[in-house]
């Protein structure tokens, strides 16, 4: 099984275009988690599907604790021709460039300059997809404009005493040219204080 499900929502990870096995699936009413195998140097995507599109949703993709992508899936009633599925495999780095998500090996050191990473590395090893219900006020097609200043996922160096970091993390791959797309710019508001669904993929090397 590669897909984990919460009601009408399902999510999965693809590595180099192939859906990977989900291990140790745990679920409750609005959250689901599992383990997936990571491979250093391999690119991956975060994918999800909405069976009904009953309500519009905002999706947040957080990798190793960092927000890497936000996007909107509109409801089927007002927007019947919009897609029910989304795949996210990169972060935009400018109006004309982007970088793909990629698993990488963590560099471990015994240097005291990195002792601060012992407690700071607990978020490494997770890919989280949050789905939030929203109320849409207006939708207009626009050329996507990059928001500069966001942190990037780069090579991590952690102290050898850190037991929580694992051996892999996620980096942004090489930057390449990609013209800014035309997207639906949505104005609206979040309806709830908590997400309607949370998918958590914990990744580690397959042994």
Q: pLDDT value at position 150?
A: 74
Q: pLDDT value at position 168?
A: 87
pLDDT tens by residue, 143-178: 877 777 677 787 776 666 665 556 888 999 999 999
Q: pLDDT value at position 118?
A: 62
**Positions of the chain with pLDDT lower than 50, given as ranges:** none
Please tell me whether residue 87 adopts helix, strand or coil conformation: strand
Name the pTM for this structure. 0.89
Q: pLDDT value at position 71?
A: 94
- Beta pairing partners, 200: 33, 128
How far apart CA 197 and CA 60 sit, in angstroms, is 11
Q: pLDDT value at position 63?
A: 96
Closest Cα to residue 74, out of 54, 91, 90? 54
Contact call for residues 158 and 121 (beta carbons, < 8 A):
yes
Q: pLDDT value at position 141?
A: 83
């Amino acid at each position: 099984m590669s897909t984990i499900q919460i009601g009408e929502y399902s999510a999965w990870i693809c590595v180099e275009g192939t859906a990977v096995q989900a291990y140790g699936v745990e679920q409750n009413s609005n959250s689901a988690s599992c383990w997936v195998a990571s491979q250093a140097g391999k690119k991956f995507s975060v994918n999800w599907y909405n069976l009904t599109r009953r309500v519009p949703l905002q999706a947040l993709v957080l990798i190793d604790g960092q927000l890497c992508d936000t996007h909107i899936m509109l409801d089927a009633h007002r927007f019947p021709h919009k897609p029910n599925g989304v795949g996210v495999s990169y972060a935009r780095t400018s109006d004309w460039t982007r970088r793909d998500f990629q698993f990488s090996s963590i560099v471990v050191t015994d240097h005291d300059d990195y002792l601060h990473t012992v407690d700071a590395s607990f978020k490494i090893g997770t890919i989280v997809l949050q789905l939030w219900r929203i109320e849409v006020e207006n939708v207009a097609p626009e050329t996507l404009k990059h928001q500069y200043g966001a942190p990037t996922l780069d090579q991590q160096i952690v102290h050898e005493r850190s037991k929580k970091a694992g051996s892999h993390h996620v980096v942004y791959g090489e930057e390449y040219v990609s013209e800014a797309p035309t997207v639906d710019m949505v104005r609206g508001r979040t309806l709830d204080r908590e997400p309607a669904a949370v998918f958590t993929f914990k990744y580690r090397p397959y042994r």
